[in-house]
Amino acid sequence: VIHDEVYAIAQKYLRKIKRTGPENIMAICPFHRKMNGQEESTPSFTMSLTRGLYFCFACQERGNLTTFLKNVGVSTFIMEKVYGSVIHAVRSQAPRPKDPLRPAIFDNSPLPESLLGFFDYCPTDLLDEGFDEELLQKYDVGFDQANMRITFPLRDMSGNLVGISGRTVIDEYPRYKVYDTEYERWGHPYRRVNKRSVLWNADRVYPSAFFKNNARVVLVEGFKACLRLIQCGVPDTVALLGTYLSPEQRWILERIGGQVYLMLDNNEWGQVGTARVGAILAASLPVKIVEYPEDKPQPSDLGPAEIKEALENSKDYYLWATEEKNRWLLERIRKV
């Protein structure tokens, strides 16, 4: 029912509509024009018929059914009078944060690689941020048109695909989501993936570190920081997917061995995480703390030269821990 009503709206306000799947359409973008003032000739505007979400790969315009209607010029009166019920229906389709009927048991069994085929679109947001298209392809970073999220594959240490994490491009909550019910759309059962047992990119770093005498591994918080370092010539980088280090992640780092360079974000959570993760890892591995200018919130804001400099100037954890400026951090982690 929602399908038909959203489709009817699309037909009224969009041109050159093409179905790109059971629940999605592509069309000429109504919100941007080419440099010569003409409409685009090939569709780059995509819309979900179940959720009413839309995104333009060319101009990056994005939003929900309400913002769509507003932007194509529908008055508030008509919006409520004519489209009120479909807007309400589409909103109720939004994924619920927790479903009590679903089991809370983790399933990290392998998924078929073919699942990634559904996300085989280039995430243009990341290109705009300076990420290299080939690199994104190599690491299977894609785009989920149905949920408007940039997709990152989650892999176990052997490289098996175990889940998908999606980062919203339309300010939905949460910003990053490890998929659970989403797999059903592509014919795979609901699964709850244990993110804590994934150390992102460890499946690639482990084999290369295995053959090196002086292996080093750089530990960062998220996908973007990890990809930035890889692109800047530091392939042996792994991501915690947060500021906590789980026992499983610690085990993986001990398997990899070698020198750990800890390079979390510069915000308060990142700093507290540095003190905590550093203390845990330093008990069994040599750990260095990588500092970088405070006006750069995260490693993905750094260029190749800045990354190189930061790594070269890193400090041994025990030395870092004796510094006066870090005293409050050590007091913070002692309290927790």
User: Minimum Å distance from CB 72 to Zn ion?
Assistant: 12
Whichever of 32 and 296 has its CB closer to Zn ion, that residue is: 32
Least separation, in Å, of the C-beta of 40 and Zn ion?
Answer: 7
Binding mask 227-266 for Zn ion (x = CB under 5 A): ----------------------------------------
Distance CA 215, CA 195 (A): 25
- Tell me whether residue 334 is exposed, middle or buried, using C-beta atoms within 10 angstroms of its C-beta: 0 to 12, 13 to 18, 19 or more: exposed
Nearer to Zn ion, 32 or 196 (CB): 32
Rounded Cα distance between 244 and 55, Å, is 33
Cβ-based nearer residue to Zn ion, 54 or 292: 54
SS3 content of the chain, % helix, strand, coil (to 5): 40, 20, 40
Nearer to Zn ion by C-beta: 27 or 202?
27
Query: C-beta of 55: minimal distance to Zn ion in Å?
Result: 9
Extended strands (E) in 106-213: 142-144, 149-155, 161-168, 176-178
Rounded to whole angstroms, the Cα distance separating 323 from 320 reads 5
Nearer to Zn ion, 9 or 287 (CB): 9
Tokens, residue 291:
């500092």
Nearest CB to Zn ion, comparing residues 61 and 140:
61
Shortest distance, position 45 Cβ to Zn ion, whole Å: 6
Site string for Zn ion, 139-168 (x = CB under 5 A): ------------------------------
Q: Rule CB under 5 A: is residue 169 a binding residue for Zn ion?
A: no
Q: Which of residues 59 and 116 has its CB atom nearest to Zn ion in the complex?
A: 59
Amino acid in position 233: G
# chain residues binding Zn ion, by CB under 5 A:
7
- For residue 162, which of 209, 126, 198 has the smallest C-alpha distance? 198
Whole-Å CA distances, 88 to 51, 55, 77, 83: 11, 20, 15, 9
Least Å distance between CB 31 and Zn ion? 5
> Minimum Å distance from CB 59 to Zn ion?
3
Binding to Zn ion, residues 16-75 (CB under 5 A):
29, 31-32, 56, 58-59, 61
CB-based burial, 197-225: b 16+ in 10 Å, e otherwise: bbbbbbbbbbeebeeeeebbbbbbbbbbb
Question: Locate tokens 């790109």: which residue?
Answer: 20
Shortest separation between residue 125's beta carbon and Zn ion, angstroms: 14
Which positions lie near Zn ion, rule CB under 5 A? 29, 31-32, 56, 58-59, 61
